[in-house]
Amino acid sequence: GQNIDQPTEMTATEGAIVQINCTYQTSGFNGLFWYQQHAGEAPTFLSYNVLDGLEEKGRFSSFLSRSKGYSYLLLKELQMKDSASYLCAYMDSNYQLIWGAGTKLIIKP
Amino acid sequence: IAGITQAPTSQILAAGRRMTLRCTQDMRHNAMYWYRQDLGLGLRLIHYSNTAGTTGKGEVPDGYSVSRANTDDFPLTLASAVPSQTSVYFCASSDSPEDTQYFGPGTRLTVL
What is the least distance, in Å, from the CA of A5 to any CA of chain B? Answer: 10
For residues A108 and A106, what is the distance between their CA atoms, to the nearest angstrom? 7
Residue of A35, A45, A86, A97 for testing the chain B interface, max B β-carbons within 10 Å: A97
On chain B, the residues whose CB falls within 8 A of the CB of A100 are 42
What is the least distance, in Å, from the CA of B91 to any CA of chain A? Answer: 10
User: Looking at the complex, does the CB of residue A93 fall below 8 Å from at least one CB of chain B?
Assistant: no
pLDDT, position B5? 97
Cβ density class A44-56: b for 16+ within 10 Å, e for less: eebbebeeeeeee
The tens digit of pLDDT for each residue in B25-80 reads 999 999 999 999 999 898 999 999 999 999 999 999 999 999 999 999 999 999 99
The tens digit of pLDDT for each residue in A32-83 reads 999 999 999 999 999 999 999 999 999 999 999 999 999 999 999 999 999 9
* Dihedral over Cα of A105, B2, B6, B7: its sign: positive
The CA–CA distances, whole Å, from B18 to A2, B37, B41, B81 equal 30, 20, 25, 6
